[in-house]
Amino acid sequence: MNLFSETRGLVVDSLAAMQAEGALPAGLDFANVTVEPPRDPAHGDMATNAAMVLAKPAGAKPRDIAATLAPMLAADARIESADVAGPGFINLRLAASAWHEVLRTALAAGDDFGRSAMGQGTRVNVEYVSANPTGPLHVGHTRGAVFGDALASLLDFAGYAVTREYYINDGGAQVDVLARSVYLRYLEAHGQAVAFEDGTYPGDYLIGVGEALAAQVGDAYVDQPEAVWLAEVRAFAINAMMGMIRDDLAALGVEMDTFFSEKSLYGTGRIEEALDALEARGLLYKGVLEPPKGKTPEDWEPREQTLFRSTAFGDDVDRPIAKSDGSWTYFAPDIAYHYDKVSRGFDMLIDVFGADHGGYVKRMKAAVAALTDGQVPLEIKLCQLVKLYKNGEPFKMSKRAGTFVTLRDVVDQVGADVTRFVMLTRKNDAPLDFDFDKVLEQSKDNPVFYVQYAHARVCSVLRKAQAAGIAVDDATLAGADLSILTHEAELALARKIAEWPRQVEIAARMGEPHRVAFYLYDLASELHALWNLGHDNPGLRFLQEGDAATSAAKIALARAATVVISAGLGILGVTPAQEMR
């Protein structure tokens, strides 16, 4: 149930009736007719722009159309008044009973309140994290993980059929580097002194992997040439790294449906198959790229490479899929990977990348557009960088100085819930400041705390009511006589609750889970405001001692708010707090 879309339906029906009566010409497009909450609450609960957007195509004055439409809308039982205002807005004020009905719906639906059918079961693949399996996840990955996960949950809530996927880059040269680094740790485990030269990973996190390898194969690889051990050590190391990454993600509450191996594309003809699909469309050719202007590398030499004509799909230059020696660039398996996703039947693809991959967006979109003849959209969401702060001071990450901040560090220090919420209180394409001290602050200045506190306060009320012998299960609350909820602050909270289904659809359509976080903050704010009024005005307290009927109505309102908070936090992957400690 979405009060706004229902009301929009009423507006459209009324417009159609006007057409039937000849008050409006036939053949009008109502697509731009909206029903939205007005910015200024003094204008009412909802406003429609119908008269203004139709004025021109209908060849009538906006205010004339509005003057006819408004009384038709006011005739509906749910609508208390419909007034024409400004250039032709119709401001609607809803009857209190309409808000009460929303509360009953929320209580009946529980965590499903706000679920939308908007997605119509569209099969969407959300690929995120996809960090190289060469080391632990760091803060940058953390943001991508949280964002991708929340986006996936949001789309699921909005009616899409979502698959969460991780692409393992286990096919390139960097996993050979990993294998060699693990081999060094392996030799170390056998008592040899080793040196980590440039081009190897010196991180401590590989010590255990080297030891584990030693435990498994003994001294079989000691003093053996690379040809003997490389493939085995590589597989062992990748497996170990992916185990670590899965554990890290699990600590953050992220669970993937699919881990897709890049390596699995090699030697199976699948890369060739994808490239053949491009070749068949005449989009591959041998050519020589120009050096980038203004930044010509010193060692630049013209090379002939196999190029993909991505410029035919909006890219700035054509992109190489093969190096000058004929081997694939990273782009080739990526094309094959996306081809594979499409062939698995997804209607829509979403990639979540770090901002440093921004230059990759156009070519990837071009590839997917080419492979699917524009049938399957690929949306790429970029997450901007995370800047760390401690005590208000910028905190620089440095591998050398040992201040490399991993996902695990963050989760261990502030917890998964706080990490997730904080990282979602910013638009994905805005940089994020993450202050270790501020995010743990227990005050209303901290949005995480503020929202959690709202939920916990209501939980506390429910506990107290139960102790006082008042039944507070959702079914009982939904059956309460809600007509006593007439105070402005109570209705304001109910209105905010009623916005939830609409916010879900907006957030899902835009692919912006941060909107959920901001909405929850606003909702919590309304709840706290009402709570605070109860301080001076005991009649507004949720729990009315000795008056079970009144208590039930007021608690129903509070409980409906937490139903939404709980559902919203669920999308963000945050556990609602039962109490604050």
Partner RNA sequence: GCACCUGUAGCUCAGCUGGAUAGAGCGCUGCCCUCCGAAGGCAGAGGCCCAAGGUUCGAAUCCUUGCAGGUGCGCCA
Residues in 184-243 at the binding interface with RNA, rule: CB under 7 A? none
- 26 or 31: whose CB is closer to RNA? 31
Q: Give the nearest distance from C-beta 450 to RNA in angstroms.
A: 8
Give one DSSP letter per residue of 407-433, joined into a string.
HHHHHHHH-HHHHHHHHTSS-TTS-EE
Q: Which stretch binds RNA (CB under 7 A): 64-72, 139-147, 181-189, 378-386?
A: 378-386
Q: Which residues pair with 434 in a beta bridge?
A: 388
- 104 or 455: whose CB is closer to RNA? 455
- 124 or 507: whose CB is closer to RNA? 507
Q: Which residues pair with 348 in a beta bridge?
A: 124
Applying CB under 7 A, among 289, 312, 397, 548 the residue interacting with RNA is: 289
Q: How far is CA 539 from the centre of its chain?
A: 40
Q: Is 382 near RNA (CB under 7 A)?
A: yes
Instruction: Read off the DSSP letter of residue 312.
Output: G
- 210 or 513: whose CB is closer to RNA? 513
Applying CB under 7 A, among 234, 362, 381, 496 the residue interacting with RNA is: 362
Q: Is 400 near RNA (CB under 7 A)?
A: no
Applying CB under 7 A, among 25, 358, 374, 479 the residue interacting with RNA is: 358
Specify the residue for token string 């208590």.
551
Give one DSSP letter per residue of 145-211, joined into a string.
HHHHHHHHHHHHHTT-EEEEEEEE--SSTHHHHHHHHHHHHHHHHTT------TTS---GGGHHHHH
Q: Is 476 near RNA (CB under 7 A)?
A: no
Q: Residues 313, 366: contact at Cβ < 8 Å?
A: yes
Q: Is 316 near RNA (CB under 7 A)?
A: yes
Query: Binding mask 165-184 vs RNA (x if CB under 7 A, - otherwise)?
Result: ----x-xxxx----------
Q: Residues 444, 513: contact at Cβ < 8 Å?
A: no
Q: Is 509 near RNA (CB under 7 A)?
A: yes
Pairing assessment for the beta strands 79-85 and 89-94 based on DSSP bridges: antiparallel
Query: Binding mask 30-69 vs RNA (x if CB under 7 A, - otherwise)?
Result: -xx-x-xxxxx-xxx--x-x--xx-xx-----x-------
Q: Residues 170, 262: contact at Cβ < 8 Å?
A: yes
Q: Which stretch binds RNA (CB under 7 A): 98-106, 325-333, 365-373, 390-398?
A: 325-333
Per this entry, what is the length of the chain? 581
Rounded distance, CA 196 to CA 180, Å? 10
Applying CB under 7 A, among 310, 384, 406, 562 the residue interacting with RNA is: 384
- 283 or 422: whose CB is closer to RNA? 422
Q: Give the nearest distance from C-beta 1 to RNA in angstroms.
A: 17
Q: Residues 126, 153: contact at Cβ < 8 Å?
A: no
Q: Which amino acid is at 30?
A: F
Q: Which residues pair with 305 in a beta bridge?
A: 287
Applying CB under 7 A, among 207, 228, 250, 385 the residue interacting with RNA is: 385
Q: Order of strands, edge to edge, in the sheet holding 432-435? A: 393-395, 386-390, 432-435
Q: Of 540, 544, 538, 521, which Cα lies nearest the Cα of 530? A: 540
Specify the residue for token string 């609350």.
477
Rounded distance, CA 71 to CA 116, Å? 30
- 168 or 214: whose CB is closer to RNA? 168
- 108 or 289: whose CB is closer to RNA? 289
- 45 or 189: whose CB is closer to RNA? 45
Q: Give the nearest distance from C-beta 47 to RNA in angstroms.
A: 3
Which 431-460 residues touch RNA, going by CB under 7 A?
Answer: 431-433, 442-445, 453, 456-457
Q: Is 70 near RNA (CB under 7 A)?
A: no
Applying CB under 7 A, among 138, 309, 338, 515 the residue interacting with RNA is: 515
- 189 or 378: whose CB is closer to RNA? 378
Rounded distance, CA 16 to CA 26, Å? 9
Q: Is 514 near RNA (CB under 7 A)?
A: yes
Q: Is 253 near RNA (CB under 7 A)?
A: no
Q: Residues 549, 95: contact at Cβ < 8 Å?
A: no
What are the tokens at 228?
Answer: 């003997």
Which 116-155 residues touch RNA, going by CB under 7 A?
Answer: 132
Applying CB under 7 A, among 357, 404, 476, 492 the residue interacting with RNA is: 357
Rounded distance, CA 139 to CA 131, Å? 12
Q: Is 87 near RNA (CB under 7 A)?
A: yes
Q: Residues 139, 388: contact at Cβ < 8 Å?
A: yes
Site size toward RNA (CB under 7 A) is 98
